[in-house]
Amino acid sequence: MNQRIDIMPVDDSRNRQAREAARQRVSWPVNLTPASVGYHSEGHALLLGNERDVRRAACALRHLGLPAPTLLFTDPVTEGETQEDEALLAATADMTCQRLSRSQARALEIEGYLGHFLVRMSGEGDTLDLARALTDRSHFDLVLDLGQRPLLDLELPPPGYLPLAWQDPQRDEQLEALAGLVGDFDKPRYFQIDNALCAHSASGYTGCTRCLDVCPADAVRSHQGRIEAWIEIDPFRCHGVGSCTSACPTGAIQFRLPETARQQETLLAWLSAYRDAGGTAPVVRFAEAGDLAAEGDAAGHVLDIPLEELGAAGHDQWLTALAGGAAEVRIQCRPGMPDRLMTFIDDQLAQAHALLHALGHSPSRVSRLIAGDAAARDALPGEAPLEGTPLSFTGSDKRDRLNDVLAHLAAHGTPDGQRHAMPAGAAYGSLAVDGEACTLCLSCVSNCPTPALAAGNDRPLLSFREADCVQCGLCAEACPEDAITLVPGFLADATRGERRVQYEEAAFPCIRCGKPFAAASTVATLKAKLADHPYFAGEALARLEMCEDCRVKDVWQAMARDPESQLKV
């Protein structure tokens, strides 16, 4: 373990000049106006909650210029404040109103986004579309939910949906913002998905669900087809938080503002330019661009990495900064961040700390701070930057780049060669194969979404490379013999990057030509399972002991001897 030491910059003004020189030499990736999605809203709103609050809000929104909303009374009215009720009734007399019972209110469902909300009520075998039933429209444009418990209980609800308590001190500002959502609006399509890299599903089995677990907007969904399931991100509900792309272990989900690889390359280039300009012991701070714009200049040794959203950089990006020459990395959170995003940041911090410890570095090199804490932001690093050859990437995809970073940290640290526990769900680990149960059917290989598992070219074997394994579990799910068990944890040893044989058998030779074509256990299993099948009745069972070429020849020879033999099956 590295010793903590006190580091004093040679000259803070020199570090500040180096930082500015780095910014000028290498520009940080900016939004390049990717494909966008459009919203169209005419301002037709649905208001729901108790009658008094709903009528109050309806009057306020009409005063702000919205057309007459539809009122849905779902909660009982609280006692008191009856003196204004008659005035509210008169002011909203021309509005469409509907009162629901408690059971009807519990059956309400809302889905959609700004300009296209569908509100349904499920009954006894029927579903009532409230927009069509109450307004003869196909949808609502806005939803104001004043209920005691919002129908959409999300940390980041879709645009156009506002959960609001009437007693909220910022009520007037929020109502004014809702009333402003009339017209046409564009928003970037923040992400792109490469389903060929996705480890979510294969052959009807479910594997990785990390992106589903971390989205605070419920914009990531698993879409189930006839056989396969695949991940979809609803661009209309997505807020661009970025946690899904950071949580994705294979790079199947890519943040477009900017892409992960470009973000890493720019970070390394910035650190290189900082060193070339004479800077010493830089501290890299990942923070949201809005927070950076609202605060004063940081100390000269602090190199700021502005992000659209904090979730767009995970532990792979933070460790890249350390491998690229940063003395420390600080992740700046802000008050009021969604709970699920904070949980995600904490999990990424736990993974970074576990990896640093396993590789012989101080976990204190990566820390979290709160926006506004200038003392923590500007504190001098307690560690020196890693010395030696700068980091360079040899791989192109996300996992390859992460392995390059881990190998660099291992080369400059003191890994102990042991397997270290990681937080639950981390994409690091091995697997164990039960040799007595495995038949080398290779279902695991065909369902593995990465190159972790592979078959032998000319030998019946199963090989495994731990560095490629993302612990999705598809191999264990697909194994018909339950012969595979996942072994979570990070192996702090160079052998995790080597391919090794997990299980091997002697090859079974074809009884006709002698060519090895399958594992002996596979042939034995097939003979046992197909012994009673009419196609393999009698002498035909021997075809299971033939290679594919000899098996075809035997079928044709049998047909030549008895042309109707195949019709007897």
User: Domain end: 255, 286, 303, which one?
Assistant: 255
- Residue 235, pLDDT above cutoff 80: yes
CATH of the domain at 50: 3.50.50
In sequence order, the β-bridge partners of residue 373 are: none
Q: Specify whether 270 is located in the same domain as 378.
A: yes
Decide if 400 is inside a domain.
yes
39-64 burial by CB neighbour count: b if 16+ within 10 A, else e? bebebbbbbbbbbbbbbbbbbbbbeb
Q: Which of 44-48, 203-207, 401-405, 418-422 has the lowest mean pLDDT?
A: 203-207
Contacts of 337 (CB under 8 A, 6+ apart): 310, 345
Decide if 374 is inside a domain.
yes
Give the tens place of pLDDT for each residue, 254-295: 887 667 888 899 999 999 999 888 888 999 999 998 899 888
Sign of CA dihedral 406, 412, 415, 420: negative
27 Ramachandran zone, left/alpha/beta (phi>0; psi -120 to 50): beta
Name the amino acid, one letter, at 193. Answer: I
Tokens of 447: 């369902």
- Residue 160, pLDDT above cutoff 90: yes
Statement: the pTM of the whole predicted model exceeds 0.75:
yes
Q: Specify whether 48 is located in the same domain as 60.
A: yes
Nearest to 310 by CA among 270, 340, 355: 340
CATH of the domain at 442: 3.30.70.3270
Nearest to 57 by CA among 180, 141, 166: 166
Q: What is the mean pLDDT of the chain?
A: 89
pLDDT given for residue 1 in this prediction: 41
Q: Specify whether 171 is located in the same domain as 215.
A: no
User: Domain end: 212, 237, 255, which one?
Assistant: 255
What is the pairing mode between strands 161-163 and 142-145? parallel
Q: Specify whether 197 is located in the same domain as 233.
A: yes
pLDDT given for residue 31 in this prediction: 46
Residue 407 contacts residue 396 (beta carbons within 8 Å)? no
Residue 246 contacts residue 348 (beta carbons within 8 Å)? yes
Decide if 4 is inside a domain.
no
Phi/psi of residue 98, each to 5°?
A: -150, 130
Q: Specify whether 271 is located in the same domain as 374.
A: yes
pLDDT given for residue 6 in this prediction: 43
SS3 39: strand
Q: Specify whether 247 is located in the same domain as 348.
A: no
Residue 488 contacts residue 439 (beta carbons within 8 Å)? no
Higher pLDDT among residues 439 and 356, named by residue: 356
Name the amino acid, one letter, at 450. Answer: T
Three-class SS of 125-160: CCEEEHHHHHHCCCCECEEEECCCCCCCCCCCCCCC
Q: Specify whether 462 is located in the same domain as 375.
A: no
Q: Specify whether 484 is located in the same domain as 522.
A: no
Range of the domain at 292: 12-30+259-411
Give the tens place of pLDDT for each residue, 332-367: 999 989 999 999 999 999 999 999 999 999 999 999
Q: Specify whether 67 is located in the same domain as 204.
A: no
Residue 438 contacts residue 428 (beta carbons within 8 Å)? no
Give the tens place of pLDDT for each residue, 70-116: 999 998 876 666 667 888 889 899 999 999 988 889 899 999 999 99
Per DSSP, 333 falls in state E
Domain count, the chain: 5
CATH of the domain at 197: 3.30.70.20
Q: What is the mean pLDDT of residues 389-413?
A: 92
Higher pLDDT among residues 157 and 564, named by residue: 157
- Residue 569, pLDDT above cutoff 50: no
E-strand ranges in 289-433 read 302-307, 328-333, 366-370, 419-420, 429-433
pLDDT given for residue 26 in this prediction: 64
- Residue 169, pLDDT above cutoff 70: yes
Q: What is the mean pLDDT of residues 221-226?
A: 87
pLDDT given for residue 288 in this prediction: 92
Higher pLDDT among residues 258 and 177, named by residue: 177
User: Domain end: 128, 158, 186, which one?
Assistant: 186
pLDDT given for residue 518 in this prediction: 81
- Residue 562, pLDDT above cutoff 90: no
Q: Specify whether 264 is located in the same domain as 386.
A: yes
Q: What is the mean pLDDT of residues 449-466?
A: 92
Contacts of 123 (CB under 8 A, 6+ apart): 107
- Residue 8, pLDDT above cutoff 50: no
Tokens of 28: 């940080």
Nearest to 100 by CA among 92, 108, 109: 108
Give the tens place of pLDDT for each residue, 23-81: 666 665 544 445 788 999 999 999 999 999 999 999 999 999 999 999 999 988 766 66
Q: At how many degrees (to 10) do helices 260-276 and 398-411 cross? A: 30
Q: Specify whether 172 is located in the same domain as 45.
A: yes
DSSP annotation string for 495-559: GGGSEEEEEE-PEEEPTTT--EEEEHHHHHHHHHHHTT-GGG-GGGGGGGGS-HHHHHHHHHHHH
pLDDT given for residue 119 in this prediction: 94
Q: Specify whether 263 is located in the same domain as 289.
A: yes
- Residue 456, pLDDT above cutoff 90: no
Decide if 171 is inside a domain.
yes
Q: What is the mean pLDDT of residues 179-187?
A: 94
Q: Which of 10-14, 206-210, 270-274, 334-338 has the lowest mean pLDDT?
A: 10-14
Tokens 């779902």 correspond to what residue? 74
Give the span between the Cα atoms of 275 and 326, in whole angstroms: 10
User: Per-residue confidence at 302, pLDDT binned at 50, 70, 90?
Assistant: very high
Decide if 300 is inside a domain.
yes
Decide if 6 is inside a domain.
no
Give the span between the Cα atoms of 43 and 66, in whole angstroms: 6
Q: What is the mean pLDDT of residues 151-176?
A: 95
Q: What is the mean pLDDT of residues 389-398?
A: 86
Distances 294 to 70, 204, 297 between C-alpha atoms, Å: 40, 49, 10
Tokens of 498: 């080597």
Listed as own residue / partner, the contacts of 158-162 with beta carbons closer than 8 Å and 24 or more positions apart are 158/112, 158/113, 158/114, 158/217, 158/236, 158/237, 159/39, 159/113, 159/114, 159/185, 159/187, 159/236, 159/237, 160/39, 160/41, 160/113, 160/114, 160/115, 160/117, 161/110, 161/113, 161/114, 161/117
- Residue 201, pLDDT above cutoff 90: yes
Within 13 Å and on the Cβ side, how many CA atoms surround 478?
Answer: 22
Give the span between the Cα atoms of 404 and 303, in whole angstroms: 23
Decide if 216 is inside a domain.
yes
Three-class SS of 422-470: CCCCCCCEEEEECCCCCCCCCHHHHHCCCCCEEECCCCCEEEEEHHHCC
Decide if 87 is inside a domain.
yes
User: Per-residue confidence at 123, pLDDT binned at 50, 70, 90?
Assistant: confident
pLDDT given for residue 529 in this prediction: 83
Name the amino acid, one letter, at 54. Answer: V
User: Per-residue confidence at 7, pLDDT binned at 50, 70, 90?
Assistant: very low
